[in-house]
Structure 1
């Protein structure tokens, strides 16, 4: 069975949805499962709805705006009396009804119940369109298949339950389902983290023992750098799972960090290809004798640099490290880079839940701290270190680290 994942850019409007059917025609639409993201910038718009809801502002107007955009896409794909319009109404009515009756003050819980609707609506539109043009498929609610704990906005997959349910699917049929979402024991929606649709595809691939998984992007494949941020980048035709995992960890936006591990465990080939030119070879990630190790550049933005020092100039010892990392785990703050000296610890952090100030307040009970916000982590993989000076030009470097052939800088 094949797993195809289409992101928001690949279904952003009616023409894009039609292009999905053209991609499938070129690849062969049989024994496959499609994982599809919310359309265009829908996730951002629904995040705005949640913000307005908690500010007790007029969120209804924003909901109406998002609904209108989906109706415009649907009108470009279906006849006026198509049943999909009723489905769209139902999904948006569900958002409004939930917000009206909700009593929970938990931001993350409310976020997941609202923002997940983008994937539900998107997949219903795509599934109905594909059926209409002859690509017969069954629409699945991913929340019935991917089971998680109740860590809202960052769900942890219950692999035993998930594999049990997904593996029972009839592999002779085709399916369309959502990325990014699952559900906890009480069947409330839990999202898998921002940009988690790639991870969803990998979960289905693992549980179905897929022959291959392909992610369709608006770029030719995995490049030696994001072409929007770096000049003269090139396509990487073949890279290993290990190299892809490293690149994802350091912030390569084309691959979600959690995606690779389930695929590697079952040696499932993973392709990154262009939906603009589906005939192009793209990038293959997996075991190969021709894997490339070219100099690659990654810029991970929206980071924070936290420097921690002992108050009495004593060493940052094991007990201090344990205390610090327990607090990081408590606040779900990810460490992107760490560097320690005798009396200090520097951490480049990713604060996706906006709780760094809370962490800092707790740390200041025991330590001296200093924060530089909104910095970037610049990483060079397979760096040619004989000409290292070129990487420092026109950069304000706050922290640097070299490990083997990987150079990293925190820059402002």
Structure 2
């Protein structure tokens, strides 16, 4: 088996879907599972639907209509006549989505988010599966929620590996071409769950692990893994080879090309991961595997925007020791804050966090009960692997440095 994963940028319109067909034809699709994300910016559009559901009911239907219109235009571009069965399939998905919005009784934003957001992937894969069949590439559409089982930690669910392996082993036909959704799973009650943003890469790795796949290929709009995000850094370079360990380090610090959870299951079974361009599918791309060194050996830059830096000091100038630090981390955990960097001295403690669940104000109120607190919002966290002084100077130029931390291979800088 080989696993292909296509992201939203690669299938944002009809020409993107046709290019996916071209990639399959050029690379071969025998014994292949194709994992697909939502089309284009559909996830963002559905996030607006969810926001309107909770905050602006008057705008709910118009925001939902925009999602329908976008996909309908793609359908009309791909299929010769609007009585093709796929139109009914997509219409049924939107009816199901409407029913969820009308009948939901849960006030839990995260639960509602997961029930709504997954329709992007369900719709995109239904369109692609139908189009492949139309052009003569026979395939089987799979509902990933019937395979990947998780807990009920909505928006960042944890995989139940035993249940998932059992379901895939007992139901998966390796002889066919399959199309399925990234990002999604289901809990014990069969409610939809999601694996976190960019979780489609992780989906590919889960299937690869359970199927003992020969390789995983992630198709991107870049030539492979670059040493920096070209949106923020000039002269980004292609990394030809990366070890699992180095790739896991880059993913941990937030490299956007690879989801942080993707690499562990692949490393356990030594399944190589390739990152290639869907525009040049026969290009070399980047190989990630066992016992290969970073090539070329250059500084690798990662930036995370819209972070929060919280600095704490004791109210009575006493030491911040184990008991205090334990309290701090307990509060961070309770408020579902993702910790990016920590730094502490005798009487101070600083932490850079990602306020994913918008619980910052509540967290700060709890912290102020025990500590003197200062908070900087909308800061940027820069991480450089294999840094040199020139790389550090590039990051710090024309910025206010709020926190800086160096280890032998990595420097992290929080700037305003």
TM-score between the two structures when normalised by the length of structure 1: 0.98
Query: Among residues 335, 338, 344, which one is paired with 1:340 in the alignment?
Result: 344
* Aligned residue runs from structure 1 range 189-228, under 5 A: 189-228=192-231
Q: What's the counterpart of residue 54 of structure 1?
A: 54
Q: What's the counterpart of residue 272 of structure 1?
A: 275
Q: What's the counterpart of residue 16 of structure 2?
A: 16
C-alpha displacement at 1:297, in angstroms?
1.1
Using a 3 Å threshold, how does the CA distance of structure 1 residues 83 and 355 change in structure 2: closer, same or farther?
Answer: same
Q: Which moved more, 1:76-85 or 1:16-25?
A: 76-85
Q: What's the counterpart of residue 300 of structure 1?
A: 304
1:279-311 deviation digits (Å, cap 9, x = unpaired): 110000111445323211111112110111111
Aligned partners of 1:296, 1:408: CA distance in 2, in Å?
Answer: 12
Matched position secondary structure for 1:39: coil
| Structure 2: runs of 5+ lacking an equivalent | none
Structure 1 position 368 matched with structure 2 position 369: no
Q: What's the counterpart of residue 310 of structure 1?
A: 314
Q: What's the counterpart of residue 156 of structure 2?
A: 154
Q: What's the counterpart of residue 183 of structure 1?
A: 186
Q: CA RMSD in A?
A: 1.2
Q: What's the counterpart of residue 246 of structure 2?
A: 243
Q: What's the counterpart of residue 234 of structure 1?
A: 237
* Aligned residue runs from structure 1 range 8-47, under 5 A: 8-47=8-47
C-alpha displacement at 1:392, in angstroms?
2.6
1:60-103 deviation digits (Å, cap 9, x = unpaired): 11111111110110111113221000011101111111111111
* Aligned residue runs from structure 1 range 251-290, under 5 A: 251-290=254-293
1:113-142 deviation digits (Å, cap 9, x = unpaired): 111101000000001111111221111111
Q: Which moved more, 1:49-58 or 1:284-293?
A: 284-293
Matched position secondary structure for 1:57: helix
* Equivalent residues of 2:9, 2:39 under 8 A apart: yes
* Equivalent residues of 2:243, 2:293 under 8 A apart: no
* Equivalent residues of 1:238, 1:288 under 8 A apart: no
Aligned partners of 1:94, 1:53: CA distance in 2, in Å?
Answer: 15
Query: Among residues 90, 104, 109, which one is paired with 1:102 in the alignment?
Result: 104
Q: What's the counterpart of residue 325 of structure 1?
A: 329
Matched position secondary structure for 2:78: coil
C-alpha displacement at 1:393, in angstroms?
2.0
TM-score between the two structures when normalised by the length of structure 2: 0.97
Aligned partners of 1:98, 1:387: CA distance in 2, in Å?
Answer: 50
C-alpha displacement at 1:32, in angstroms?
0.7
Q: What's the counterpart of residue 410 of structure 1?
A: 414
1:172-221 deviation digits (Å, cap 9, x = unpaired): 12210001110001100011111211111111111111100010000001
Aligned partners of 2:396, 2:108: CA distance in 1, in Å?
Answer: 44
Aligned partners of 1:303, 1:209: CA distance in 2, in Å?
Answer: 38
Q: Which moved more, 1:324-333 or 1:38-47?
A: 324-333
Structure 1 position 119 matched with structure 2 position 129: no
* Equivalent residues of 1:384, 1:405 under 8 A apart: no
1:29-52 deviation digits (Å, cap 9, x = unpaired): 110101100000000000000100
Aligned partners of 1:57, 1:326: CA distance in 2, in Å?
Answer: 39
* Equivalent residues of 1:5, 1:34 under 8 A apart: yes
| Structure 1: runs of 5+ lacking an equivalent | none
Matched position secondary structure for 2:378: strand
Using a 3 Å threshold, how does the CA distance of structure 1 residues 219 and 368 change in structure 2: closer, same or farther?
Answer: same
1:129-186 deviation digits (Å, cap 9, x = unpaired): 1111122111111111110111111101111101111123121122100011100011
Aligned partners of 2:391, 2:77: CA distance in 1, in Å?
Answer: 54
Matched position secondary structure for 1:383: coil
* Equivalent residues of 2:182, 2:199 under 8 A apart: yes
Using a 3 Å threshold, how does the CA distance of structure 1 residues 64 and 388 change in structure 2: closer, same or farther?
Answer: closer
Using a 3 Å threshold, how does the CA distance of structure 1 residues 314 and 141 change in structure 2: closer, same or farther?
Answer: same
Aligned partners of 1:150, 1:297: CA distance in 2, in Å?
Answer: 34
